[in-house]
Amino acid sequence: MKLRSLEILDAKTKDKLCFLDKVEPNATIGEIKSMFHKSHPQWYPARQSIRLDPKGKSLKDEDVLQHLPVGTTATFYFRDLGAQISWVTVFLTEYTGPLVIYLMFYFRVPFIYAPKYDFTTSKHWVVHLACMCHSFHYVKRLLETLFVHRFSHGTMPLRNIFKNCTYYWGFAAWMAYYINHPLYTPPMYGEQQIRLALIIFLFCQIGNFSIHIALRNLRPPGSKTRKIPYPTKNPFTWIFLLVSCPNYTYELGSWLGFTLMTQCLPVAFFTLVGFIQMTVWAKGKHRSYLKEFRDYPPLRSPILPFIL
């Protein structure tokens, strides 16, 4: 096989940044990024976007040179993605914040409420139940990040962590302030409403975890392989028959349960904003599945069966 010659230009200025000679035709984009990194140490592979057109899409690390529409002499374009941070670090930071912040309000540490309420406890059992549910949710997320999730992308732009943390930490503080407030009043329909909400919350938490396990089992360790997810023997995964992203469906259900349990407006608003964002993600994944797999089940909706 004939060796290739590659030149890499800046996508914005079109200046030549690097020339690679005698590159094996079976070299991957990931390997080309490593070669480029040797010439420009400030741009480590995760920070690089390599593309065939200055305004085109980034090539995948696993793309092979000889399978791309280029000749023996090829031109690629480089764009700096900025400083990167691992997804694991992002998730751990995002989820630790709400866990700690909520508990600060629950224990009523000084300077949050009036001094006479410092380190006092609520007289309403639903407040304690809500704290256990909220803490359980984020501990579950932390453990899943460490032991369950397999990420197709290793990093994300560092700047995104500030936006994400503002969202999660800010909403956690807003919700916790009112739920743990000394003047908080329990839900209108009392124990019946709270018990129903708890059942919904726990059911959806188990369902969400079941979907994460099913998705994990689709991808071998260290692989970026994508497959169509199908229901397993676990009944919580049978929703795959109707929905492309049931992890988001169950996540929505969990927060609807928490909203019903606390009857708190900030929780309802967080649930609404989360639903809008998860719908955007679900639609994107659904389109990706349809584009990638010709035999993708046509009955599935992105997030809500037959609706959305």
Q: Are residues 213 and 97 in the same domain?
A: yes
Q: Are residues 266 and 227 in the same domain?
A: yes
pLDDT for res 206? 97
For residue 40, report the phi and psi dihedrals to the nearest 5 degrees.
-135, 80
Nearest to 261 by CA among 186, 208, 205, 181: 186
Q: For 92-148, how does the pLDDT look when each residue is reduced to its tens digit (9 = 90+)?
A: 999 999 999 999 999 999 999 988 888 888 899 999 999 999 999 999 999 999 999
- State how beta strands 155-157 and 84-86 pair: antiparallel
Q: In the chain, helix, strand, coil percent, each to 5?
A: 55, 10, 35
Distance CA 276, CA 282 (A): 10
Across the chain, mean pLDDT equals: 91
Distance CA 208, CA 246 (A): 7
pLDDT for res 19? 87
pLDDT for res 104? 96
pLDDT for res 106? 96
In-domain check, residue 215: yes
Q: For 207-239, how does the pLDDT look when each residue is reduced to its tens digit (9 = 90+)?
A: 999 999 999 988 877 666 788 999 999 999 999
Per-residue pLDDT of the chain (308 residues; tens, 9 = 90+): 567 788 888 888 888 888 888 888 888 888 888 988 988 988 888 888 889 888 888 888 888 888 888 878 888 899 988 888 988 999 999 999 999 999 999 999 999 998 888 888 889 999 999 999 999 999 999 999 999 988 777 788 888 899 999 999 999 999 999 999 999 999 999 999 999 999 999 999 999 999 999 999 888 776 667 889 999 999 999 999 999 999 999 999 999 999 999 999 999 999 999 999 999 999 999 999 999 899 999 999 999 999 98
Mind spelling out the 3-state secondary structure of 58-127?
CCCCCCEHHHCCCCCEEEEEEEECCCEEEHHHHHHHHHHHHHHHHHHHHCCCCCCCCHHHCCCCCCCHHH
Q: Of the residues 45, 67, 82, which one is the last residue of a structural domain?
A: 82
Q: Are residues 71 and 150 in the same domain?
A: no
In-domain check, residue 106: yes
- The tally of domains found in the chain comes to 2
The domain that contains 24 carries what CATH number?
3.10.20.90
Q: Helix (H, G, I), strand (E, B), or coil: what is residue 279?
A: helix
Q: Are residues 70 and 101 in the same domain?
A: no
Q: Helix (H, G, I), strand (E, B), or coil: what is residue 301?
A: strand
Q: Which domain holds residue 30?
A: 4-82
pTM of the predicted protein model: 0.86
Beta strands in 118-185 (DSSP E): 155-157
